[in-house]
Every structure is written in structure tokens, then in C-alpha cells.
Structure 1
Amino acid sequence: MTDAQCSITVSRLVAAPAAVVFAFLAEPARHSAFDTSGMVRRAVTVGRLTGMGEVFVMEMHNAIRGDHRVDCHVVEYELGRALGWAPAEPGRPPAGHTWTWRLRPEGSNRTWVSQTYDWSAFTHADHLDQLPVVGREGLRASLDLLAAAVEDA
């Protein structure tokens, strides 16, 4: 499998300033609002993400593991421009897949938002057949949910 087959990026224009979009993404408690996988239940971590290296905890559910927690390591953080995290088993290093959001202001009240799901460095070979966790259409739907949430704010 090549790296080109191991990531998906979707983008769209959102009618909200980049600062508003970033603030929404930086609140783990809001992540269930744009989840299209059905796996994100709620944030255990309270408050806004403020920098690289932070770890926030999410309660998740899927058919394979049932109810469980995931540590999300912040692997990219540029205030108002980019935020990315890498999921991991609690207390373990990240598994090698990342969710990254990049924001590019388009004037004062619009933002070009890109979301990338990348599993090119995924280390659990026995789970590779279950990837991508969310496909292109799910990522597009997630962007639409994010847009609706921040445009109404």
C-alpha cells in the first residue's frame, strides 16, 4: 500500500472566521458535533487545547472494542491555522494515524477548511484491513457538520 492510498483530504469553504473554526475544533467537548463515524461519545478532557504535546481523552464506542477510551495526542498546533491529533490506547504511544485540520482565512468571515485523515504510519498490522476508519464521504459529511455548527454560532 502506498502513502497516496493511506490518506484522505477533503476541503470546503466555511462561512465563519478562522478563529471561530479553530476555537470550535480546539474544544474536545465539541468533537461529537462533527463526528460522522458514530464512534465519538464524549470528551473526558474539559477545556480548550492550547499547544503541541497535549493529550486529551475521549470516550468512544465501536463494534470491535465496545465502549473504550482513547488518548488523543496533539501532534500539530498552529493557533488559528492548524490542529491535528493522533489517537492512542490509554498510556500508550499513538497508533500511527492522524486527524489534521488546516484553516486558511478567505477574507474576514470565511475560511477554507481542509481535513486530512492519514493512516500511512499505522503500526497495528492486524487492524490495517479496518482502515480507513472514516472514508471520503464521511470526512465530507464531517466538514459539513462543522460548517453548520460554526456558521450558526
Structure 2
Amino acid sequence: MTDTQLEASRIVGAPPDKIFALLTTPDRHPELDASGTVRGSRTHHPLAAVGDVFEMEMHGEDMGDYVVDNHVVAFEPDREIAWAPATHGGDRGGQVWTYRLEPRDSGGSTLVTHVYDWSAVTLERLLPYLPVVDADGLDATLKRLAAAAEL
């Protein structure tokens, strides 16, 4: 971790392919997000590659309702996915959300590392809101991911 990056890790009792399927399905993101800001998906198909963009309906206490365009910036099936949010139809803000998956116990469970990196933020209007989550928030999201994957 650095001054502009947070991470949390958790062993999830599910194989990497099942966890990756959850993370690549934008319709499932509201149930995984512990912050309560992710409200719904406007993209109703799985993510498949770097360059995919998925739209999410969001709500922030200070910002009200808004939409973000998440640009997939890393995609390695069953190993890693990352996306960089952007204003709807506009600029990427410089934040990146990453999930790294490492198989454990012959693939029956997975070490999931969730990273939030805001080191590339250049939009002045975002700075007062950063970081948008703390390490406990990342951990809470991992707990929700585990609950969904372990069903």
C-alpha cells in the first residue's frame, strides 16, 4: 500500500473461474459493492476483454445520482480484472479498481486481492473526495464477494 493505493485480501471458498464470472458480470456488481454507491448496471452482458466499457448507475451522498463508464484496463481470465471509471461520456478520473485471483487448495479456493489505486488522478474536482473508500470498505466488499461466490 502507498499514500494513493489501498488493498485488502481474503481467501474465498470458491474456484477462480466462479469468482471471475461474478466480477465480469456488471449486473452482479451492486450486490458485491459494500459502499452502497453502486446502484445498478446499464450493461447486461459479461465483460470479455481490455477495452470493454460498462456503464454503472451510482449514488453518492455528496454527488447524488450519476453514471460512470468503467473502462476495462486489465483482463486475464480467472486471474485479474481491472477497470478505470470515467465520467459518463467523458474523462477517466485516474482511479483504478483491480481484483487479482490466485488459486489455492488445488483451485478449490482463491486468494482474492482487491486494490484501489488513485495515484493517477488528475481531475482537480475529484481530489476532495479521495480516497472514496478505505481498507475496511475494500474488505467489506470482499466479504460480499465471498458470500456470493460461496453459494
Q: Could you tell me the TM-score, scaled by structure 1's length?
A: 0.94
How far, CA to CA, are the matches of 2:114 and 2:91 in structure 1? 22
Task: Identify the residue that residue 20 of structure 2 maps to in structure 1.
Answer: 22
How far, CA to CA, are the matches of 2:87 and 2:110 in structure 1? 33
Query: Structure 1 counterpart of 2:113, which letter?
Result: S
Alpha-carbon deviation of 1:123? 1.3
Query: Structure 2 counterpart of 1:111, which letter?
Result: T
Task: Identify the residue that residue 94 of structure 1 maps to in structure 2.
Answer: 92
Task: Identify the residue that residue 36 of structure 1 maps to in structure 2.
Answer: 34
CA RMSD of aligned residues (A): 1.1
Alpha-carbon deviation of 1:59? 0.5
Higher mean C-alpha displacement, 85-94 vs 133-142: 85-94
How far, CA to CA, are the matches of 2:80 and 2:99 in structure 1? 6
> 1:82-107 deviations in whole A, cap 9, x for unaligned?
00000001122311001000001112
Task: Identify the residue that residue 131 of structure 2 maps to in structure 1.
Answer: 132
Q: List 4+ stretches of structure 1 deviating above 4 A.
A: none
Query: Structure 2 counterpart of 1:115, which letter?
Result: H
How far, CA to CA, are the matches of 2:69 and 2:84 in structure 1? 8
What is the SS of the residue equivalent to 2:85? strand
How far, CA to CA, are the matches of 2:59 and 2:129 in structure 1? 15
The percentage of counterpart residues that share the same residue type is 45
Query: Structure 1 counterpart of 2:10, which letter?
Result: R
How far, CA to CA, are the matches of 1:110 and 1:15 in structure 2? 4
- What pairs with 1:1-153 in structure 2 (closer than 5 Å)? 4-106=2-104, 107-152=106-151
Q: Could you tell me the TM-score, scaled by structure 2's length?
A: 0.96
Alpha-carbon deviation of 1:36? 1.4
Q: Count residues in correspondence.
A: 150
Q: In the superposition, relative to structure 1, how do residues 25 and 137 fare at CA in structure 2: closer, same or farther (>3 Å)? A: same
- The answer to whether the Cα contact below 8 Å between 2:93 and 2:126 also exists between their aligned partners in 1 is no
How far, CA to CA, are the matches of 1:66 and 1:150 in structure 2? 30
Alpha-carbon deviation of 1:128? 1.4
How far, CA to CA, are the matches of 2:126 and 2:94 in structure 1? 12
